[in-house]
Structure 1
Amino acid sequence: MIRIASAQLWVHDQNEALEFWTKKVGLEVRSDVTMAEMGDFRWLTVGPPGQEDVSIVLMAVPGPPMIDAGTQDEIRNLTAKGFAGTVFLTTDDCQASYEELVSRGVEFTETPEQRPYGIDAGFRDPSGNSIRLTQLAPDLANA
């Protein structure tokens, strides 16, 4: 069986991303390893408490020699605009989760609204990645 273990978000600053995802969103650190033999490459992952088999890789945008400076700039620009990736988070109570995250300093781009699939809200991380917070409609949540 194939299973999803991790998804990746490009981040402009791993320390800032770590602070945001742990302190404001409430995820926990899964891995934080720096590999000197790979030019101090940092493998940084976070995930929701209680959902141990899934994590988000907070990947620094690499530069030369891995990718050229032009491509690096393109990735940074697309990330900042919210078009380099999206994370979809689900919750049992979108309004309560929204209020909790706002109290921790998360700035939402869209407040909770009723949609055909449930209640949905949106925010961005410090790098610009688009994050959706959704309370699925009962018929979808149990599917």
Structure 2
Amino acid sequence: MKRLAAVSAAQLCLGAMGLRTALRDRRSYDVGFRRGSAENIERDQWFIGTALSAPNYMLVLQGVCTVALLVRPRRWVARVLGVLGVGMTCGQAAERSAQAAWRHWDAQITPLTAAATVLSAVMAWWGLAGDPAES
């Protein structure tokens, strides 16, 4: 479970970097038929997220679970990280700015969103199915 905690910590760092970048550049969320506004990004970051990060409540829960996994590994904590990983993977793939960055290279956004999505997917897999190295 330490490898899951390490992946989660790395993904959380990318989430924090995405949040910082989104707040600086005023990049609000744009998923499906829902679109945020730059004027409300400070409010939206808490419950809906930004174009480059999950909502803050998810990032806080991820941080708490990551620390808990290191202090006292429990299967249910790993599952919570797995569920968060599923949500983050789907959210990042649905975000229009990430889709645009994956189609047309953006030196700032493409590596951030691609790495965060891959780590979220690994977090989902290891959190729900278990880390193959621990079998």
Q: What TM-score, normalized by structure 1, do the two folds share?
A: 0.33
Looking at CA atoms only, which structure, 1 or 2, has the larger radius of gyration?
A: 1
- Per the normalisation by structure 2, the TM-score is 0.34
- Structure with the higher fraction of residues in strand conformation: 1
Q: Would you tell me which structure has more helix in proportion to its own residues?
A: 2
